[in-house]
Amino acid sequence: MNQTLVVIKPQAVARGLSGKIMARYEEKGLKLAAVKLMQAERDLLAQHYAEHAGKSFYDNLLETMGSGPVLAMVLEGTDAVTAVRMLNGATDPLKASPGTIRGDFGLEMAHNVVHASDSIQSSQREISLWFPELAVK
């Protein structure tokens, strides 16, 4: 049993897809451990995407992620990181298989509808950024 962070991106929230996306995770058997609708501040996004600093797409990524509200959530279950990434599909929505979240709801790499942690270590770091109230004290 482990946890992972998922962020439903601004374009997906604006399109009214949050409920459909959350349902996919719940139907798989993942449990919603925490959720919040929020406007992500640039500082949070810079910390979250620190490994991409200096790359050509970095500024656009921060601008896109800060362009509207996001729905951040912590999901838990057996091998949650792997389960979520499988449900999400390939990062590029045009390469994501039909039936995956990105394959069904995304069209562009910059608007691929969801972010998910890529490892248990990343999930722990990301959850502590987005949900500091859940950090072990």
pLDDT digits (tens, 9 = 90+) for 82-92: 999 999 999 99
Distant-in-sequence, close-in-space partners of 98: CB < 8 Å, separation ≥ 6? 104
For residues 84-111, average pLDDT:
95
Name the CATH topology of 2-134. Answer: Alpha-Beta Plaits (3.30.70)
Residue 115 appears among annotated catalytic residues: yes
Residues 123/117, Cβ–Cβ less than 8 Å: yes
57 assigned to a ligand binding site: yes
Residue 116: the pLDDT is 97
Residue 135: the pLDDT is 73
Supply the pTM of this predicted model.
0.95
9 assigned to a ligand binding site: yes
- Average pLDDT over the chain, rounded to whole? 95
Q: Where are the beta strands (DSSP E) in the chain?
A: 2-8, 31-38, 70-77, 114-116
pLDDT category, 136, cuts 50, 70, 90? low
- Report strand pairing: 31-38 vs 114-116: unpaired
100 assigned to a ligand binding site: no
- From the list 48, 52, 111, 115, the catalytic residue is 115
